[in-house]
């Protein structure tokens, strides 16, 4: 049974609200210890999920040139002798 987008959003918000503050603080602290000092400006939120999303959006390569490089890499891919067709 497929869910509507509204149902998916509602379930996501429900799961998000059930998270414990202490566990979120611990996750946020762990994330802050693992990044370089220059990345701390992207970590202002108290919610580790928002921090992760923000860091992903900042560092994701998503320009036209990236698209072209990926397309060229796909079109010029070659199978080695030990690889199967599915691989």
Query: What's the domain range around 61?
Result: 5-75
Would 83 be classed as within a structural domain? no
pLDDT of residue 1: 66
The 10s digit of each residue's pLDDT in 27-62 is 999 999 999 998 899 888 888 989 999 999 888 888
Give the whole-angstrom CA distance, residue 44 versus residue 22: 17
Structure tokens at 70: 């990926």
Would 85 be classed as within a structural domain? no
Give the whole-angstrom CA distance, residue 18 versus residue 51: 18
Q: Which element (helix H / strand E) includes 2?
A: none
Give the whole-angstrom CA distance, residue 72 versus residue 60: 19
Q: What share of the chain is helix, strand, coil (3-state, %, to 5)?
A: 65, 0, 35
Would 80 be classed as within a structural domain? no
Residue 17 in this model has a pLDDT that exceeds 70: yes
Number of domains within the chain: 1
pLDDT of residue 71: 92
Give the whole-angstrom CA distance, residue 9 versus residue 3: 10
């Amino acid at each position: 049974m497929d869910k509507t987008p509204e149902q998916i959003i509602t379930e996501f918000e429900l799961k998000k609200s059930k998270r414990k503050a202490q566990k979120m603080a611990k996750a946020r602290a762990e994330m802050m210890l693992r990044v370089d000092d220059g990345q701390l400006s992207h970590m202002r939120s108290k919610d580790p999920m928002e921090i992760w999303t923000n860091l992903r959006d900042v560092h994701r390569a998503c320009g036209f040139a990236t698209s072209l490089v990926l397309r060229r890499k796909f079109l010029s891919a070659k199978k080695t002798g030990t690889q199967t067709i599915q691989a």
